[in-house]
Structure 1
């Protein structure tokens, strides 16, 4: 009967996945707009214990042994992160629901909560990777005129020149119908799955949060909790390794009598 081996093996595999996710969270504790991952486990099927395995009492009922555990899911927690003031008008944060849309070098639109944008030499609002922020009805930068750039809570991009406000574009926010409709693409970006219809702040502004200009959203990683999770997972991993080692020693002893 290899149930003890399989139980410990499944636990080791599940805990290794947990440690990988916790390490990833800790590494991104200072990443702008990063959403930490939550990991959930589930029991594997139970194996019935019969008289062929061990002598059973008549009152024991229907005994069984758990076949182990596996990672049921790992998903991003899209809760709101704290906002940090920077004073840069092109630094943007979303207070509430929604994602910024950016177009990467391959022409693919991606979603992100990372609002660390700046004005490029080509006159586009871009992030540090050069991905271009999506704008509606955008006026070319060389036609903005000289003045202060003001981005409103609703996403209007205004230029204040000689006391006159000119609207040069609007920043739309995007929202997938459910979080399984987007996939992590690395670099704090999310790829929209094929066939997904995104909701936009232009169509339904009430479903979205407000844009805060001059702010950046902090990572949602709780460092203290993540370190605690890492220590507990490491301890559980060590205990399951000991169980597997003890099981091997027991089987070796049994084989000596065969």
Structure 2
């Protein structure tokens, strides 16, 4: 008799957990680049009340008779599909049209993270440096001219070079002039924190930066006071074999997990890598942000279903209680 009540309890618990997921989706329906989640259920252990039997000469076979003991959450699955894009016309707002995650780092500003750009395109994380990944491209500049996200994590990318030199220097702050009107090549053997400096060293003298832009390849260029255009660096992107397996780290960021796989980095622009994978990644859209992929109509429908399920399972418990009260009253 009590088993029905335990089944009802398991159903109420599972429905309540589903409501937790739904409420989080609804709460983040306006969160930049948020990825919604959904719940799947599985049944619990089945109690066998009659074993199956095989056919005999005189009788046919009978099926096994089992009574279930309730339900539980099987999995909470992330929907990693892209949200729609919102035009902001803000130069440092960026969205990814297609595959990829921005790479965000914390640690010393001069830290360089080695990258194997010949075979696996994987970053070798330097001790003291933490890398996270995000689709939220609402970036800004801090007082040190570092390109950062809203939480202060540094946007990682590649220095660029051409015949005029290499842009970001080893100190992480000095930027030499690289002619942005000519083809540039990314130095994709290492990830470096990107900066948009107030001045660029041109001909041995600092030249003031008047404006900046980000193209579809993630290449950052600045226009100098003398009207020359300098290339500063390229925003790096990463992908995973199983992005649904990423660990949600809060602040619109993800981190690697044991089931996401190791981050594979997009090869830099115009690099001579024999394993160029840049075509598998999306373009970077400047002046836009990716919106949440939560569909409110769907979430409200799921909320009604979960609420009704919770109520129905509660009715099972109250009905079981009425039956127990009837049994107790039989001796009176």
State the TM-score, normalizing by the size of structure 2.
0.70
Q: Which residue of the partner structure matches residue 197 of structure 1?
A: 262
Q: For this pair of structures, how many residues does the alignment match?
A: 252
**Are the aligned partners of 2:100 and 2:281 in contact in 1 as well (CA < 8 Å)?**
yes
Query: Deviation of residue 142 (structure 1)?
Result: 3.7
Query: Deviation of residue 107 (structure 1)?
Result: 4.1
- Post-superposition Cα deviations, 1:65-116, rounded to whole Å, max 9, x if no partner, equal 2221111111210101100111111101011111111124784211111111
Cα RMSD (Å): 2.4
Q: Which residue of the partner structure matches residue 15 of structure 1?
A: 15
Q: Summarize the alignment of residues 92-171 of structure 1 with structure 2, pairs less than 5 Å apart.
A: 92-104=94-106, 107-137=129-159, 139=168, 140=173, 141-144=197-200, 145-161=208-224, 162-171=226-235
**Are the aligned partners of 2:198 and 2:209 in contact in 1 as well (CA < 8 Å)?**
no
Residues 250 and 186 (structure 1), Cα distance of their counterparts in 2 relative to 1, 3 Å cut: same
Query: Deviation of residue 239 (structure 1)?
Result: 1.2
- Post-superposition Cα deviations, 1:21-71, rounded to whole Å, max 9, x if no partner, equal 0000000010001000111111223222349xxxxxx99743222221111
In structure 2, runs of 5+ residues without a counterpart are 52-59, 108-127, 160-166, 174-196, 201-207, 268-275
Query: Deviation of residue 180 (structure 1)?
Result: 5.4
Q: Which residue of the partner structure matches residue 4 of structure 1?
A: 4
Residues 143 and 204 (structure 1), Cα distance of their counterparts in 2 relative to 1, 3 Å cut: farther
Indicate which of 233, 237, 244 corresponds to 2:306. Answer: 233
SS at match of 1:33: coil
**In 1, distance between residues paired with 2:63 and 2:102?**
58
Deviates more, 1:20-29 or 1:242-251: 242-251
2:321 maps to 1:248: yes
**Are the aligned partners of 2:85 and 2:291 in contact in 1 as well (CA < 8 Å)?**
yes
Query: Deviation of residue 224 (structure 1)?
Result: 1.5
- Post-superposition Cα deviations, 1:193-238, rounded to whole Å, max 9, x if no partner, equal 3695211111521221111111000000111211121122111101
State the TM-score, normalizing by the size of structure 1.
0.89
Deviates more, 1:83-92 or 1:224-233: 224-233
**In 2, distance between residues paired with 1:86 and 1:11?**
44
Larger Rg: 2
Q: Which structure shows the bigger proportion of residues in helix conformation?
A: 1
**In 1, distance between residues paired with 2:4 and 2:288?**
53
